[in-house]
Protein backbone atom coordinates (compact mmCIF):
# COMPACT_ATOMS: atom_id res chain seq x y z
CA UNK A 1 0.00 0.00 0.00
CA UNK A 2 1.37 3.41 -1.00
CA UNK A 3 1.12 5.98 1.75
CA UNK A 4 0.04 9.39 0.55
CA UNK A 5 1.49 12.30 2.40
CA UNK A 6 0.45 15.92 2.16
CA UNK A 7 2.40 18.06 -0.26
CA UNK A 8 4.95 20.37 1.30
CA UNK A 9 6.66 23.36 -0.19
CA UNK A 10 9.55 21.94 -2.17
CA UNK A 11 7.71 18.73 -3.10
CA UNK A 12 7.11 18.25 -6.82
CA UNK A 13 3.38 17.79 -6.11
CA UNK A 14 3.30 21.27 -4.60
CA UNK A 15 5.22 23.01 -7.39
CA UNK A 16 2.91 24.24 -10.11
CA UNK A 17 5.08 26.51 -12.27
CA UNK A 18 8.39 26.20 -14.10
CA UNK A 19 9.77 29.33 -12.46
CA UNK A 20 8.93 27.90 -9.02
CA UNK A 21 10.85 24.75 -9.88
CA UNK A 22 13.81 26.73 -11.20
CA UNK A 23 13.83 28.81 -8.02
CA UNK A 24 13.79 25.76 -5.78
CA UNK A 25 16.43 23.89 -7.77
CA UNK A 26 18.81 26.89 -7.70
CA UNK A 27 20.04 26.28 -11.23
CA UNK A 28 23.26 28.06 -12.10
CA UNK A 29 23.53 30.16 -15.29
CA UNK A 30 25.16 27.29 -17.22
CA UNK A 31 22.31 24.92 -16.36
CA UNK A 32 19.76 27.59 -17.27
CA UNK A 33 21.45 28.08 -20.64
CA UNK A 34 21.64 24.31 -21.19
CA UNK A 35 17.89 23.94 -20.60
CA UNK A 36 16.89 27.29 -22.09
CA UNK A 37 14.78 25.82 -24.92
CA UNK A 38 12.98 23.40 -22.62
CA UNK A 39 12.30 26.16 -20.09
CA UNK A 40 10.89 28.45 -22.79
CA UNK A 41 8.71 25.65 -24.15
CA UNK A 42 7.38 24.98 -20.66
CA UNK A 43 6.63 28.67 -20.12
CA UNK A 44 4.77 28.80 -23.43
CA UNK A 45 2.76 25.73 -22.45
CA UNK A 46 1.99 27.25 -19.06
CA UNK A 47 0.63 30.33 -20.82
CA UNK A 48 -1.48 28.12 -23.09
CA UNK A 49 -2.79 26.18 -20.07
CA UNK A 50 -3.72 29.43 -18.32
CA UNK A 51 -5.53 30.66 -21.44
CA UNK A 52 -7.37 27.36 -21.91
CA UNK A 53 -8.25 27.24 -18.22
CA UNK A 54 -9.69 30.76 -18.38
CA UNK A 55 -11.69 29.86 -21.49
CA UNK A 56 -12.92 26.67 -19.88
CA UNK A 57 -13.95 28.52 -16.72
CA UNK A 58 -15.84 31.07 -18.82
CA UNK A 59 -17.54 28.32 -20.80
CA UNK A 60 -18.53 26.50 -17.61
CA UNK A 61 -20.03 29.70 -16.18
CA UNK A 62 -21.92 30.28 -19.41
CA UNK A 63 -23.13 26.68 -19.41
CA UNK A 64 -24.28 26.99 -15.80
CA UNK A 65 -26.22 30.15 -16.64
CA UNK A 66 -27.77 28.48 -19.68
CA UNK A 67 -28.80 25.46 -17.60
CA UNK A 68 -30.31 27.72 -14.96
CA UNK A 69 -32.30 29.58 -17.63
CA UNK A 70 -33.44 26.31 -19.19
CA UNK A 71 -34.53 25.01 -15.79
CA UNK A 72 -36.57 28.14 -15.09
CA UNK A 73 -38.21 27.95 -18.51
CA UNK A 74 -38.98 24.26 -18.02
CA UNK A 75 -40.71 25.11 -14.72
CA UNK A 76 -42.81 27.79 -16.41
CA UNK A 77 -43.65 25.39 -19.24
CA UNK A 78 -44.61 22.63 -16.78
CA UNK A 79 -46.93 25.02 -14.93
CA UNK A 80 -48.52 26.09 -18.23
CA UNK A 81 -49.00 22.49 -19.32
CA UNK A 82 -50.64 21.71 -15.98
CA UNK A 83 -53.07 24.60 -16.50
CA UNK A 84 -53.90 23.42 -20.02
CA UNK A 85 -54.50 19.86 -18.79
CA UNK A 86 -56.82 21.14 -16.05
CA UNK A 87 -58.76 23.20 -18.58
CA UNK A 88 -58.99 20.21 -20.95
CA UNK A 89 -60.36 17.99 -18.19
CA UNK A 90 -62.90 20.62 -17.29
CA UNK A 91 -63.95 21.02 -20.92
CA UNK A 92 -64.23 17.25 -21.39
CA UNK A 93 -66.53 17.05 -18.38
CA UNK A 94 -68.70 19.85 -19.75
CA UNK A 95 -68.96 18.11 -23.11
CA UNK A 96 -70.05 14.75 -21.70
CA UNK A 97 -73.71 13.95 -22.32
CA UNK A 98 -75.96 14.20 -19.30
CA UNK A 99 -76.69 10.47 -19.31
CA UNK A 100 -73.05 9.71 -18.43
CA UNK A 101 -73.52 11.17 -14.97
CA UNK A 102 -75.02 9.28 -12.04
CA UNK A 103 -78.32 10.63 -10.80
CA UNK A 104 -80.26 9.46 -7.77
Per-residue pLDDT of the chain (104 residues; tens, 9 = 90+): 444 544 565 566 666 788 888 888 888 899 999 999 999 999 999 999 999 999 999 999 999 999 999 999 999 999 999 999 999 999 988 888 887 776 66
SS (H, E, C) 20-79: HHHHHHCCCHHHHHHCHHHHHHHHHHHHHHHHHHHHHHHHHHHHHHHHHHHHHHHHHHHH
CB atoms under 10 Å from CB of 42, counted, come to 16
pTM given for the model? 0.59
Is 95 exposed, middle or buried (CB count within 10 Å of its CB: 0-12, 13-18, 19+)? exposed
Amino acid sequence: MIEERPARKGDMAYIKRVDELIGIKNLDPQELELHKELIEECREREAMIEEYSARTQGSLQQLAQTCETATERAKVLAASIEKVLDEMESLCLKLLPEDHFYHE
